[in-house]
């Protein structure tokens, strides 16, 4: 049974996401900024808050293989095997689909997606939202990624619509995810290890 406080925080985050707002939340890697991956207006707000160039794509967190398939133009046959054998959070770069906000895709039409396998909060938000969740580090473009809440700049905290009150005191440091390009044949090209 999940703690009541965790469920309550997930509900409040989802309420903000459904209102096309930007949240500050703990991901399965670093602290991130997020919004509904299907809403162009919300994605635009997130990019403005972060001062991120429009051609620099964000990633999308998904709950499972079915949600991955909703947003990927090509899903390799060995996706389940890749997920079962991954030893740390891994972002897969694939051709994106029409279901995503168009301003979320990279100039080449790709999107980075990560199936959240272990983080309770992110998994709960994704299940309740029913959509992909944009995830980008909670920093201005070009600045270091905040591994813990205390490293998030006060300016970012002031500008988001909702700050998740979960794991703010947790000092566990996690690295950004591994990033790989997933080819249609199931092969991988490592972009960041």
Give the separation between CA 5 and CA 181, rounded to whole angstroms.
37
With beta carbons less than 8 A apart as the criterion, state whether 112 and 60 touch.
Answer: yes
Domain limits, the chain: 4-192
Q: At how many degrees (to 10) do helices 120-129 and 4-18 cross? A: 50
Give the separation between CA 20 and CA 148, rounded to whole angstroms.
25
Give the separation between CA 58 and CA 112, rounded to whole angstroms.
7
What pLDDT is attached to residue 175? 82
Report how far apart, in Å, the C-alpha atoms of 71 and of each of 39, 44, 47, 169 are: 13, 19, 20, 34
For residue 183, name the pLDDT band (cuts at 50, 70, 90). Answer: confident
With beta carbons less than 8 A apart as the criterion, state whether 14 and 63 touch.
Answer: no
What pLDDT is attached to residue 192? 92
Interval 106-164: pLDDT, tens: 999 999 999 999 899 999 999 999 999 999 999 998 899 999 999 999 999 999 999 99
Residue written as token pair 């030893």? 87
Tell me which CATH code domain 4-192 carries. Answer: 3.90.870.10
């Amino acid at each position: 049974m999940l703690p009541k406080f965790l469920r309550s925080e997930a509900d409040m985050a989802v309420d903000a996401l459904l209102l096309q707002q930007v949240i500050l939340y703990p991901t399965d890697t670093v602290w991130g900024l997020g919004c509904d991956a299907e809403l162009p207006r919300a994605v635009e707000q997130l990019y403005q808050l972060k001062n991120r160039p429009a051609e620099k794509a964000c990633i999308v967190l998904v709950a499972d293989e079915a949600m991955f398939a909703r947003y990927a133009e090509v899903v390799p046959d060995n996706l389940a095997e890749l997920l079962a054998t991954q030893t740390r959070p891994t972002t897969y770069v694939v051709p994106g689909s029409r279901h995503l906000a168009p301003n979320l895709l990279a100039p080449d039409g790709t999107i980075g997606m990560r199936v959240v396998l272990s983080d309770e909060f992110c998994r709960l938000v994704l299940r309740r939202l029913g959509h992909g969740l944009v995830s980008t580090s909670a920093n201005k473009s070009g600045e270091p990624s905040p591994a813990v809440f205390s490293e998030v700049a006060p300016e970012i905290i002031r500008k988001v619509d909702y700050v998740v009150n979960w794991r703010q005191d947790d000092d566990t440091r996690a690295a950004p995810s591994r990033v790989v390009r997933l080819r249609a044949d199931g092969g991988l090209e490592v972009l960041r290890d």
